[in-house]
Structure 1
């Protein structure tokens, strides 16, 4: 009898348990060898056990997928053929209710699990296999399902292949896209990477999808507990990014030794002051909500009279998209892919604090900027933002504009002020580097520094996924250029 995928998953799970228990016993000190440093061995065993437990959790999640899908299939097979659409819906509701009760979760959660299990077992085999061998987590698998929802089977398979089958490529080879294995990303970072890839390769132009999405712009209000409420806005990406930067800049200007509010509180107070005390001239002054006094100016406008926001935001534009020859997405720093028409407008309409960055037509990467003095110029700091995208510490999501450029090899020890000797950690991880045994490793022109922990373990930083741009038919291709 042929083995099923569920049986393979069970066998892999069973084989992993003794390994986990071995690490646990060593970590607890009940099974250590006669070594000179038993405390160090226990500490290492605890870390090994944590890593193995994460693999076991992923394998257990894969088993849950198989069991959920198995029950749904068998319940459908046992039920009589539905006589009407209403009866079919009732049968599905019964399956969801049973799973919800046995797992003690809401029916909404059970319905989501069944839908995710169906996608993983039918259209996302690579993802399920990676979950089954513990190389990705359940969160990664869920995000993969979400990001492939509107893609056709070929598109979903391509997204899986890009993130789940890393290929070592020659960075100098023309047309080589850099892959970013999902298992090397913390789950919260994977959706942004997957969304960026999806936007670049979606069968429907980003211009068309953006035109449809812009019709849904809105502001929402939701009461919350303790006399509080949420106010949120769904806006075009450039408008939202510019607003966020202006809020942050104004809030940082209010910080000082006598200011007791946090940056988060200052942002909230600044927004409240601007919205409640606006004079309608682009200037806002007042002392409400803690004595805020801010002034802002905007001159350029977009369609519909909405101000084109002033912001310190990098806009990376493929050169042919800027020329209007292709419709591939540009990239807005801290957000991701945007329609090329939006990028062209930001550059052309006077929004002068959006900094344009043209990419290399051969491989999609920007050009390096260098300087030999200790002082790190603004241009080089902007290049670091391009290379790293955020704080380079693994899992950190800080896109802050005041991340601190740092010499990997100290200047007084012979380190140079060049891209390959610079990182841009956030204040928290800059402090970690200089006050603990955590140390950054060597960077390259296109790769941010990794990190080595006090225990000697090495952790890779998240890398940008630069891709070569599309070459329009009316101009020569890279191959033509080489011939």
Structure 2
């Protein structure tokens, strides 16, 4: 929809003329044609490589040492094709095996790819995740996976497809997780220039919590650094102003701190492991401890009622990012101080409604559960680290209501307000948000995309605007 600036405030936002819109539309049309040509060429290449694998099988039929004979035949064919594809014979042999697996074991996916329903990235994700599903459930997995992929970017559907494949696995996720957890460990991998990688193999929910806590602490330090670098211009009782070079707002040593958030996270992790507390705590005053060490990790888990009651050992969903075992989910549920009951679609798992609707905090929790990530097409920034944006600005009487709010990361929040992209909340009662590029000539008065009351769901885009990369029938997880 519109940005916070009114129609008169867009001169410097890069909106351009309708001629620019037509030029962009032509570029998009050319890109679509190029993408179609590339897709058909990719499909043909996979089928050629799969046929090479079949030829190797035929050449070794009836051989006494069939495994070795097939390997030699495959090496010979790969060496022959390596010159054509300008790659090593080892690379070609691996690609032949992957192509054979795709053509033989994922025929529904190949057909959807050839028909243009999905792209190469979707195919890779389906093939990578689909190996978890048993052979007799593979066709069902492919059918549901393709439906989820349509209209979504590959990375956005990866975790949803993993959850789907895990539920189709003949062994429960809990049982497999218990075996895998026995292999948890910490190791050091030596690198160049006096640096090393400290690698901890941990349950996903623990690893995610560690990164979340480090991120929160790092942001607290960076916020304190920004405050410390701002000079205090208030005059003292004698009318004198403190010297900006010697006085900071909190007198801390963070004035000259130029570390990135990654560097701060690494330093805080080192302090916590070696000394049990951050070496520099910008919240500390005098001899008292600061509050940096009191920051706790936040993780969000969506778990079905059947799993909580022990009637289902299917995996729970860790913020739409990866599955976690049912035992851990129940343990978290037993220790959590607050609950939000989510009504979800029985098949797709789409969050439809939350029964706690209280001002501000409850709405934030509902929107985080609904959106899961920044709503810009393809963005994977978790909602917990996004900004809530009014689709219709509050200054234009936009309501503070879930139908007028969406989680956008800082980058795409700026895109919405300073470029030709605008947010449109889609109709039909689904918790969806799509970005649309609207023609300046088609924009109605007051900067709104339609004449509905503020906060209402908008109708589909008019012919004056082009809906770009809309989401599918459910929010991306």
**TM-score greater than 0.5 by the shorter chain:** yes
User: Structure 1: any 5+ residue segments left out of the alignment?
Assistant: 1-35, 167-179, 279-283, 299-309, 467-483
Secondary structure in structure 2 of the residue aligned to 1:189: helix
Asked if 1:410 is matched to 2:393, the reply is yes
Asked if 1:337 is matched to 2:334, the reply is no
**Partner residue, 1:261:** 259
Cα deviation for residue 191 of structure 1 reads 2.0
Cα deviation for residue 206 of structure 1 reads 1.0
Cα deviation for residue 193 of structure 1 reads 2.3
Secondary structure in structure 2 of the residue aligned to 1:117: helix
Cα deviation for residue 342 of structure 1 reads 0.6
Pick the aligned partner of 1:207 from 174, 181, 199: 174
**In 2, are the aligned partners of 1:151 and 1:202 still within 8 Å (CA)?**
yes
Asked if 1:320 is matched to 2:299, the reply is no
Asked if 1:447 is matched to 2:431, the reply is yes
* Structure 1 pair 115–230 and aligned structure 2 pair: CA distance change class (3 A): same
Secondary structure in structure 1 of the residue aligned to 2:302: strand
**Cα distance per residue 1:435-483 (max 9 Å; x no partner):** 22311111576423111125632132464479xxxxxxxxxxxxxxxxx
Asked if 1:50 is matched to 2:47, the reply is no
**In 2, are the aligned partners of 1:387 and 1:446 still within 8 Å (CA)?**
no
**Cα distance per residue 1:419-441 (max 9 Å; x no partner):** 11110101111111122231111
User: Structure 2: any 5+ residue segments left out of the alignment?
Assistant: 1-16, 230-256, 285-289, 440-464
**Partner residue, 1:191:** 158
* Structure 1 pair 312–446 and aligned structure 2 pair: CA distance change class (3 A): farther
Secondary structure in structure 1 of the residue aligned to 2:186: strand
Pick the aligned partner of 1:151 from 112, 123, 133: 133
Q: Which structure: larger Rg?
A: 2
* Equivalence map 1:460-471=2 (5 Å): 460-461=470-471, 463-464=474-475
* Structure 1 pair 56–361 and aligned structure 2 pair: CA distance change class (3 A): closer
**Cα distance per residue 1:295-327 (max 9 Å; x no partner):** 5369xxxxxxxxxxx422222221121122222
**Partner residue, 1:31:** none
**Partner residue, 1:380:** 363
Cα deviation for residue 227 of structure 1 reads 4.5
Asked if 1:216 is matched to 2:183, the reply is yes
Pick the aligned partner of 2:279 from 275, 286, 298: 286
Cα deviation for residue 410 of structure 1 reads 1.8
**Partner residue, 1:169:** none
**In 1, are the aligned partners of 2:345 and 2:352 still within 8 Å (CA)?**
no
RCO higher in 1 or 2 (8 Å CA, sep ≥ 6)? 2
* Structure 1 pair 159–239 and aligned structure 2 pair: CA distance change class (3 A): same
Secondary structure in structure 2 of the residue aligned to 1:382: helix
**In 1, are the aligned partners of 2:74 and 2:93 still within 8 Å (CA)?**
no
* Equivalence map 1:417-456=2 (5 Å): 417-443=400-426, 446-454=430-438, 456=465
TM-align CA RMSD: 3.0
Secondary structure in structure 2 of the residue aligned to 1:260: coil
* Equivalence map 1:292-307=2 (5 Å): 295-296=292-293
**Partner residue, 2:115:** 133
* Structure 1 pair 434–37 and aligned structure 2 pair: CA distance change class (3 A): closer
Cα deviation for residue 207 of structure 1 reads 1.0
> For residues 51 and 79 of structure 1, what CA distance do their matches in structure 2 show?
43
Cα deviation for residue 195 of structure 1 reads 0.8
Q: Answer with 256-265 or 241-250: which moved more.
A: 256-265
> For residues 324 and 446 of structure 1, what CA distance do their matches in structure 2 show?
30
Asked if 1:63 is matched to 2:44, the reply is yes
> For residues 352 and 339 of structure 2, what CA distance do their matches in structure 1 show?
11
* Structure 1 pair 108–390 and aligned structure 2 pair: CA distance change class (3 A): farther
Pick the aligned partner of 2:466 from 457, 464, 470: 457
| Number of equivalenced pairs | 391
Cα deviation for residue 83 of structure 1 reads 2.2
